[in-house]
Structure 1
Amino acid sequence: MTTQAQVIPKFSEQKKAFSINELKRLIVTAKSMSDFDQAKRYLYSYFIPCADPHGVFWWDPNSKSLKYVIDKNIGKLIRPITKAFYT
């Protein structure tokens, strides 16, 4: 049985607010390293890196605007989620 990948919009096209629970679900349900692409695309649909100043821009669909988050505050916004694969 194959599962069809969820279609994830590109950066700034999301209509729903970012959900850490949705990100966690995508990571926890991943069965292989390639399954992490879904989680990556989900993150990239909300966040884009900024080099000067260092940080990220965060797409907020509720206000339809970009918010800037400095590097040191990213950990407050996105808590670490881990998953290990063993071969």
Structure 2
Amino acid sequence: MTTQAQVIPKFGEQTKAFSIDELKWLIVAAKSMSDLDQAKRYLCSYFIPYADPHGVFWWDLDSKSLKHIIDKNIGKLIRPITKAFYTQPEQGPS
């Protein structure tokens, strides 16, 4: 399965529950910044920003409902995942 071949549904149209492992796989499999678009689309198919109070709405497929997650609790639901990309400069030291 390649990141380019995966079709990601729009917000609220997912047919399987959110998986941090699926998100992590999409990030780890990314070979460039543009490949991260798949991970972004995956996140956006489950979460949508909300301003008052600040946080996100999460489409919870199990209960088929929206759940409001406040900013300070987002890290409990979505653990930080980092990915670094390095480019070789055309001139200068490597």
Fold match (TM-score > 0.5): yes
Counterpart position of 2:28:
28
Alignment CA distance shift 1:38-1:3 (3 Å) = closer
Q: TM-score, normalised by structure 2?
A: 0.87
8 Å contact from structure 1 (residues 5, 38) kept in 2: no
Equivalent residue runs for 1:12-51 within 5 Å: 12-51=12-51
Q: How many residues were matched structurally? A: 86
Distance in 1 between the 2:3 and 2:80 partners?
Answer: 26
Moved over 6 A (4+): none
- CA-atom RMSD in angstroms: 1.4
Larger Rg computed on CA atoms? 2
Q: TM-score, normalised by structure 1?
A: 0.94
Distance in 2 between the 1:14 and 1:84 partners?
Answer: 28
- Structure 2: stretches of 5+ with no match in the other structure: 88-94
- Structure 1: stretches of 5+ with no match in the other structure: none
Query: Structure 1 residue 3: deviation in Å?
Result: 6.9
| 3-state SS of 1:9 partner | coil
